[in-house]
């Protein structure tokens, strides 16, 4: 929904893990904020003094060890998640994505002659069921419940291929191929946008990933080759 203030609903296992880590970290931060707030209020309201207090070894040890333990509870799941995000095992297909000023090009290198550009549909051409500044003329189509490897690069300046509900944000850098894994656990349309300021029309190069059942994906591949 447009008024959504939290993360988008996850549509991939990676995004589910990112959401869990977000909630885990936020819970720790809320506890720390409440604890520090209570201590500050207590300091302002109480009238205790200690005229001979110059140092306190005990309290210094406590406020050194407790933050270190807290960081460990955040770092371990964070490092685990980083390695999970980089894991790619036996992808079903590979899609190469090239960023341009200001559109995307998709190449299905596993199949012959499947390459197309994806431009944003202008506001004047939008139909009633299409989203303004988010719909494109050619969507990236992938099979659901399948491991997809994406290779991202750029032809001119740095772009960033981002689909929040799939937990993907990958920089498109000229002269470099960045690799990531994509897995949609349901069919649907998933919207994203370029997340790196790349020029005057940066806001007008949206992304749509269309996840379909494998049998429909095969039909789409066949029709694309025929055309």
> What does the pLDDT read at residue 25?
93
Could you write out the DSSP letters of every residue in the chain? Answer: -TT--SPPPP-SHHHHHHHHHHHHHHHHHHHHHHHHHHHHHHHHH-----TT----HHHHHHHHHHHHHHHHHHHHHHHHHHHHHT---S-SEEEEEEEETTEEEEEETTSTT-EEEE-BPPGGG--TTSPTTT-BSS-EEEETTS-EEEEEEESSS-EEEEEGGGTEEEEE-BT--EEEEE--SS-EEEEEEE-S--STTGGG-EEEEEEE-HHHHHHHHHHHHH-
Q: How many residues in total does the chain contain? A: 227
> What does the pLDDT read at residue 3?
67
- Report pLDDT digits (tens) over 158-173: 999 999 888 889 999 9
- Residue 109 phi/psi, 5° resolution? -70, -15
Q: Could you tell me if 149 and 177 are in contact, meaning their C-beta atoms sit under 8 angstroms apart?
A: no
> What pTM does this model have?
0.79
CA distances from 51 to 44, 54, 55, 71 (A): 17, 8, 12, 34
> What does the pLDDT read at residue 1?
58
CA distances from 65 to 38, 62, 70, 133 (A): 20, 5, 9, 50
Name residue, tokens 């799941």.
77
> What does the pLDDT read at residue 65?
93
Q: Could you tell me if 181 and 87 are in contact, meaning their C-beta atoms sit under 8 angstroms apart?
A: yes
pLDDT band at 125; cut points 50, 70, 90? confident
* Residues 73, 30, 164, 162, CA torsion sign: negative
Total Cβ atoms within 10 A of residue 110: 13
Residue 207 scores a pLDDT above 90: yes
Q: Which domains does the chain have, with CATH numbers?
A: 13-45+57-86 (no CATH), 93-226 (2.60.40.420)
> What does the pLDDT read at residue 98?
94
- Report pLDDT digits (tens) over 4-63: 777 788 888 888 888 899 999 999 999 999 999 998 898 888 887 777 667 778 888 888
> What does the pLDDT read at residue 2?
61
- Report pLDDT digits (tens) over 143-196: 998 889 999 999 989 999 999 888 889 999 999 999 988 889 888 899 999 998
């Amino acid at each position: 929904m447009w008024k959504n203030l939290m993360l988008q609903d996850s549509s991939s296992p990676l995004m589910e893990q990112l959401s869990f880590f977000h909630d885990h970290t936020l819970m720790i931060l809320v506890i720390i904020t409440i604890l520090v707030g209570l201590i500050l209020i207590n300091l302002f309201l109480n009238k205790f003094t200690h005229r001979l207090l110059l140092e306190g070894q005990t309290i210094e040890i406590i406020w050194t060890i407790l933050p270190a333990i807290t960081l460990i509870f955040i770092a371990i799941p964070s490092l685990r998640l980083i390695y999970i995000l980089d894991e790619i095992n036996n992808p079903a297909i590979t899609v190469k994505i090239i960023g341009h000023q200001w559109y995307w090009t998709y190449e299905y290198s596993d199949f012959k002659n499947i390459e197309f550009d994806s431009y944003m549909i202008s506001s004047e051409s939008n139909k009633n069921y299409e989203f303004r500044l988010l719909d494109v003329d050619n969507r990236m189509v992938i099979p659901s419940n399948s491991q997809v490897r994406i290779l991202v690069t750029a032809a001119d300046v740095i772009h960033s291929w981002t689909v929040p509900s799939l937990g993907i944000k990958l920089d498109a850098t000229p002269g470099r191929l960045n690799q990531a894994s994509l897995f949609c656990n349901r069919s649907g349309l998933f919207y994203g946008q370029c997340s790196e300021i790349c020029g005057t029309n940066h806001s007008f190069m949206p992304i749509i990933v269309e996840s379909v059942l494998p049998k429909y994906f095969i039909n789409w591949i066949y029709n694309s080759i025929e055309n």
